Copies of this chain bind each other. A is one copy, B any other.
Amino acid sequence: MSAKLWLTQLQENGYRLTKARSAVVEIVQKSLRALTPVEVYDMARKKYRALGLVTVYRTLEKLEELHLIQRVHQPMGCQAFISAGEGHQHLLLCQNCGQVAFFEGDDLDILTKSIAKKTGYKIQEHWLQLFGLCANCRVN
């Protein structure tokens, strides 16, 4: 999905198209690693100087609401966002450079059924996240 499409999505949901939003979207959409609000602010201000940090927060809020981005939880902190995968996907994070890869096709059915039986819980959701080293960082 391109930045243009994100902006369209915003418009289609009744939000106006502004320079501030464009700048934020452009940064977040193409980032390969999760960014914090301040990081987005710093980077996006290179494209649009007048941008305010508050607007970054507000824009991220809307992008999350539209499922265009998702929050990334990490040992070091949980306030970073990354362009969201489509459908049911999971994250694989490089512990060195932060690069995020998506993967799908996990089959946790057997596991969840077994856990459900053992614990008596009705399982409705799961979070799975892998950590490691990306191809680049692995060699260096």
Contact = CB atoms under 8 A, between A and B. Distances in A.
Nearest to A75: B71
A92 B73 contact: no
B127 A123 contact: no
Interface in A71-109: 73, 78, 92, 94-95, 101, 103, 105-107
A69 B111 CA distance: 25
A138 B121 contact: yes
Interface string A111-133: 11011101111111111111111
Interface of A: 73, 78, 92, 94-95, 101, 103, 105-107, 111-112, 114-116, 118-135, 138
22 contacts: A78-B78, A94-B121, A95-B124, A101-B119, A103-B115, A105-B114, A107-B111, A116-B132, A119-B135, A120-B134, A120-B138, A121-B130, A121-B135, A123-B130, A124-B133, A125-B132, A126-B128, A126-B130, A126-B131, A127-B131, A128-B128, A128-B129
